[in-house]
Amino acid sequence: MEKQTAVEWLAIQLWEEMNMQGDGAIFNKLLEQAKEMEKQEIIDAWDDGHDSFSTRNAEQYYNETFGKI
Summarize pLDDT for 31-66 with one digit per residue, the tens: 999 999 998 988 888 888 776 666 778 888 888 888
Query: What's the whole-model pTM score?
Result: 0.65
Report pLDDT digits (tens) over 25-35: 888 898 999 99
> In this structure, are residues 62 and 47 in contact, taking their beta carbons and an 8 Å threshold?
no
Within 13 Å of residue 21, how many CA atoms lie on the same side as its CB? Answer: 0
Q: What is the pLDDT of residue 49?
A: 79
Rounded Cα distance between 24 and 65, Å, is 27
Rounded Cα distance between 58 and 47, Å, is 6
> In this structure, are residues 64 and 39 in contact, taking their beta carbons and an 8 Å threshold?
no
Rounded Cα distance between 24 and 22, Å, is 5
